[in-house]
Chains A and B, each alone.
Chain A
Amino acid sequence: MAMIWARIRFFVSVIVFFVFATAVAAQQPSSVDPNSDAVHEQQLLQQLNRIQGLGTIPDVKSYVIEQPMGRQWREFHEVWLHWIGAIAVLGMLAVLIIFFFTRGMVRIESGRSGINIVRFNAFERFVHWMTATCFIILALSGLNITFGKEILLPILGPSAFSSWSLAAKYAHNFISFPFTLGVILIFLMWIAGNIPNRVDIEWFKRGGGIFGHDHPPAYRFNAGQKAIYWIVVIGGTAVAVSGYLLMFPFYGTTIAGMQLAQIVHGVVAVLFVAAMLGHIYIGTIGMEGAFEAMGEGTVDLNWAKEHHSLWLEEEKARGGPTQLQRQPWATPAE
């Protein structure tokens, strides 16, 4: 009897097991999809525009495996920067050439007095020329990075062009240090004379006297020179900061940061070059008696009267005739 009960219990339990087992099986999906919660490339790119994970090599930068925004930077570097640079530099050159042939050199209208007045001391001139020399080297080596492959590469051939570009890269990196020092010194040295004031509005209203024979009054630096000063200080700071970010990769930047730094560096630099072309023009062939201010450090009294009348009054009031030195050997221009 016990035997029969045992058998019945066994069969019942087997039936119960199968009933439950089928019920449980019905609840489970027919096949397992291990991809259901997997990451997908397209989804990650849409969310962050970059894909990053964890790796096992020490180089943590390599944990970013995809960042397509390099394509926008490429578009900037290969298309936009070429246009901005070409328009800024060639445009400025064209304007200067047209201006030179229409207006010609701005003469000292009342002729040279033969009396010279000190305008920039030796230290000021040293800082100016140190910065200027650095700037020219930096500008040429920098323009080479953007335009060299289109202009110089076909002329020099790959091997010579590469050797020149390598030397230019090293020059660009090392010369940046004295240039940055120069910008800092210029900032400190001439800040006092370069705070915009009321006279500048008048100067700008009269177009700096650039057209016709007008001579708006100005202190030591007129509004145009102040503009150059601030272009050097602000532009110089921008190119120095962005340049050092590129020179020291991954110190406080990511790839996106370096792309941005390069954009700032490139745009500011070509505009800087254009502005300096204007500065070089007016300081040399554009105006009689201007170059000697930075050359010998002195200017003719009549030049000072015409271009920096208020500064001359200040100097006279401060230093009196001792500031003025008669130089009999100074030959008139004509």
Chain B
Amino acid sequence: MARMKFLCDADRCIECNACVTACKNENEVPWGINRRRVVTINDGKSGERSVSMACMHCTDAPCAAVCPVSCFYTTADGVVLHSKDLCIGCGYCFYACPFGAPQYPRVGNFGSRGKMDKCTYCTGGPETDGSAIEYEKYGANRLAEGKLPLCAEMCSTKSLLAGDGDIIAQIYKDRVVKRGYGSGAWGWQTAYRETIAT
């Protein structure tokens, strides 16, 4: 089985936000929630870099570890998913997540959180693959159809890579060797406890 990962090559990202839009459209993400976002560091200054960030589907995921109702699980492909039927909206995964991935639709009184929503790596959820209820709760299940997450698939500069960790790491390494520079595999050290030597 592959170990699915995301890799954003910040030297290629042109901050077009198409990954953000594609994700929202493909998964019918609730209003006010962005499973993926593009952030520009040192915006407007020399050496600025844009990074597209979502759930990184961490190895030994902190969200899963702190969840008081153990609603998280990791698929055979290494994708970190959760059950919205079990989630109680306590917000603990959000305190633990290094990437700010979990988000909560605001329901009811004061800051009361609804069921958590986050990037599913276009892998749906615990419901039957491709079912209507799965789509309604979690969005598309492209992986079950043999397709990769749409954000990476449609990236115009091929900055955002999705796929087996070893393969996308090799693609990134080759790029760095060929062009002679690279600002690093953003988030990899934190998410996977390994980085790609550049």
A42 touches B111 (CB 8 A): no
| B145 CB-CB contact with A under 8 Å | no
Contacts of B189 in A (CB 8 A): 41-42, 45
| A28 CB-CB contact with B under 8 Å | no
Q: Is chain A's interface secondary structure helix, strand, loop, or mixed overall?
A: helix
Choose one: B96, B97, B184; the contact of A40 (CB below 8 Å): B184
B42 touches A71 (CB 8 A): no
Q: Tally A residues with Cβ within 8 Å of B.
A: 59
Tell me the bound Cα distance from A169 to B108 in angstroms: 13
A41 touches B183 (CB 8 A): yes
Choose one: A33, A38, A68, A153; the contact of B98 (CB below 8 Å): A68
| B37 CB-CB contact with A under 8 Å | yes
B96 touches A52 (CB 8 A): no
CB distance from A296 to the nearest CB of B (A): 38
Q: From A34, A41, A73, name the one whose CB has the most chain B CB atoms within 10 angstroms.
A: A41
| A283 CB-CB contact with B under 8 Å | no
B70 touches A158 (CB 8 A): yes
Stretch at the interface among B83-91, B116-124, B157-165: B83-91
A55 touches B39 (CB 8 A): yes
Contact A55 B186, CB 8 Å, known A62-B100, A77-B66, A145-B68: no
Tell me the bound Cα distance from A56 to B50 in angstroms: 11
B88 touches A162 (CB 8 A): yes
Contacts of A116 in B (CB 8 A): none
| A97 CB-CB contact with B under 8 Å | no
Contacts of B100 in A (CB 8 A): 61-62, 64-65, 67, 255
CB distance from B16 to the nearest CB of A (A): 10
| A111 CB-CB contact with B under 8 Å | no
Which residues of A40-84 have CB atoms within 8 Å of chain B's CB atoms?
Answer: 40-42, 44-45, 51-57, 59, 61-68, 70-71, 73-74, 77-78
| A251 CB-CB contact with B under 8 Å | yes
Which residues of A147-161 have CB atoms within 8 Å of chain B's CB atoms?
Answer: 148-149, 153, 158-159, 161
Contacts of A38 in B (CB 8 A): 10-11, 47-49, 181, 183
Contacts of B32 in A (CB 8 A): 59
Nearest-CB residue, chain A, relative to B17: A56
B184 touches A158 (CB 8 A): no
A51 touches B41 (CB 8 A): yes
Nearest-CB residue, chain B, relative to A261: B95
| B156 CB-CB contact with A under 8 Å | no
A159 touches B111 (CB 8 A): no
A74 touches B184 (CB 8 A): no
Contact A249 B34, CB 8 Å, known A73-B95, A169-B89: no
Choose one: A53, A59, A71, A73; the contact of B40 (CB below 8 Å): A53
Tell me the bound Cα distance from A145 to B92 in angstroms: 10
Contacts of B66 in A (CB 8 A): 73-74, 77-78
Tell me the bound Cα distance from A38 to B185 in angstroms: 14
Which B residues form the contact surface with A (CB < 8 A)?
10-11, 15, 17, 20, 32, 34, 37-43, 46-51, 53, 62, 65-71, 83, 85-92, 94-100, 109-113, 180-187, 189-190, 195
Known: A65-B51, A65-B186. 8 other contacts (CB 8 A): A33-B180, A34-B11, A35-B47, A41-B184, A52-B41, A68-B98, A74-B96, A78-B66
23 A-B residue contacts at CB 8 Å?
Answer: A33-B181, A38-B183, A53-B41, A53-B42, A54-B39, A57-B20, A59-B32, A59-B37, A70-B62, A77-B92, A77-B96, A78-B66, A144-B68, A148-B69, A149-B68, A165-B68, A166-B88, A169-B89, A169-B90, A173-B110, A255-B94, A259-B95, A262-B92
